[in-house]
Amino acid sequence: MQKDIFGRKIKQLSRIGKVLFLHLSPVGKRKISVKLAFHQRMSGRLAVLDRNEVEKATKHARIRIGLDNNKFLVFFDPRKFGVAWYGHDKVLNKDKYLNTLGPDALAVSWQEFNKRLEGGRGTHSMGSTGSPQASSGQAIKSFLLKQNIFAGIGNIVVDETLWFAKIHPQKKINHLSLKQRRALFLALKKVLKRSIAMGGSSMRDWLHPDQGRGEYQDNWRAYGRSGQKCYRCSRILKKSIVGGRGTTYCSFCQRV
C-alpha cells in the first residue's frame, strides 16, 4: 500500500453505512483507480493535521498518510477495533464485511425497508427474494443493528428511532403492524438526518477530521438518558440489555 498509494489524488468521497470510501485516481503506469476505506468502529477517528501536529500526536495513531501542503490524514484508534481497506473494486468486493453490507439506511426506500421487515417469517438470513430477512421471533432492536440488513444503524440511532416511533426495543418483528413499520421508517430517517445536521455525536474524545465536535449528544431523547424523565410523558426512562447491547427506552410510551 505504501508505494502504491503515492502520487494518487482523492477524487471523491462516498459512504455505505459506517464505512467511508476515499476514491483515489490512477497514477503513472498504475492505470487502475483504487479505494481507501475506513470503518472507525467504537473508538477510531480520522483527522487532518499539520506536520507539527502529527509529530506530537504519536499516541494511538495507527495510519499516517501524507497530503499536499504538509498536511496528513491520520487514523487514530485507541482500542484497535477500527478497520482500513485498500485496493481496487474486485479486491474490496471479496471482503466478507464489505460484500455483505445491506443498503444504506439513509438511502433505503420505504418499499425496500418494509419488504425486509415484512418478509421475516423464516430463520434464514436470506429470503426467496435474495434479501436478508428477519426471524419472526426476533426483537426489532436486534434486527435493526444487523449491518447486512441496513448499513449504518448503530446503538444510538436504534434507541432514538424506537423512542420516536413509540416501539418497544423487544417488540417482535412479526408483531409490528403496517402502521408501526411506517412509523419506524419515518423515525429512522428523521434521526439520521438530525444526527448528520448536528455533526453526529461527540462522545469521549471523538472529533471530526477538522477537530470540530458534533452536537447530537445534546439532543438525545432516549440513548444514554436512563434514570431521567421522558421528554414525552415525564416518566423515568429505563435501561435493559437487548441483543447484548445497553438499551434505553420509556416503558410507558414504548409498550410491548
State the CATH number of the domain containing residue 80: 3.20.190.10
| Same domain flag for 95 and 114 | no
User: Is residue 139 a part of any domain in this protein?
Assistant: yes
Of 99, 125, 154, the last residue of a domain is 99
Same domain, 47 and 148: no
Residues 124, 46 share a domain: no
Which residue from 120, 122, 111, 112 is spatially nearest to 174, judged by alpha carbons? 120
User: For each of the chain's 256 residues, which pLDDT tens digit applies?
Assistant: 778 898 999 999 999 999 999 999 998 777 889 999 999 887 788 999 998 888 777 778 899 999 988 899 999 998 888 999 999 999 999 999 999 999 999 999 999 999 999 865 333 344 434 555 555 678 999 999 999 999 999 999 999 999 999 999 999 999 999 999 999 999 999 999 999 888 878 666 666 677 777 778 889 999 999 999 999 999 999 999 998 999 999 999 999 8
Domain co-membership, 63 together with 161: no
Residues 116 and 230 in one domain: yes
Do 123 and 230 lie in a common domain?
Answer: yes
Both 192 and 128 in a single domain? yes
* 172 part of a folded domain: yes
The pLDDT of residue 2 is: 75
Structural domain contains residue 256: no
Task: Give the range of the structural domain holding residue 77, as residue numbers without chain letter.
Answer: 10-99
* pLDDT computed for residue 200 by the predictor: 77
Listed residues 99, 129, 163: the one ending a domain: 99
Q: Which residue has the cell 468486493?
A: 93
Q: Quick one: 154 and 236 in the same domain?
A: yes
Would 200 be classed as within a structural domain? yes
User: Which among 48, 76, 99 is the end of a domain?
Assistant: 99
pLDDT given at position 132? 56
**Assigned domain for 69 exists:** yes
We report the CATH number of the domain holding residue 189 as: 1.10.8.50
Residue 2: inside a domain: no
pLDDT digit string, tens, across residues 195-251: 988 887 866 666 667 777 777 888 999 999 999 999 999 999 999 999 899 999 999
What's the confidence (pLDDT) of residue 156?
A: 93
Residue 183, class by beta-carbon neighbours within 10 Å (0-12 exposed, 13-18 middle, 19+ buried)? middle
132/193 same-domain check: yes
Number of folded domains in the chain?
A: 2
pTM for this one? 0.85
93 and 154 both lie in a single domain = no
Please tell me what DSSP assigns to residue 62: E
Compute the distance between CA of residue 252 and CA of residue 166 in angstroms, rounded to an integer: 9
For residue 126, what are the CA distances in angstroms to 49, 66, 179, 241?
A: 44, 42, 25, 26
Does residue 198 fall inside a structural domain?
A: yes
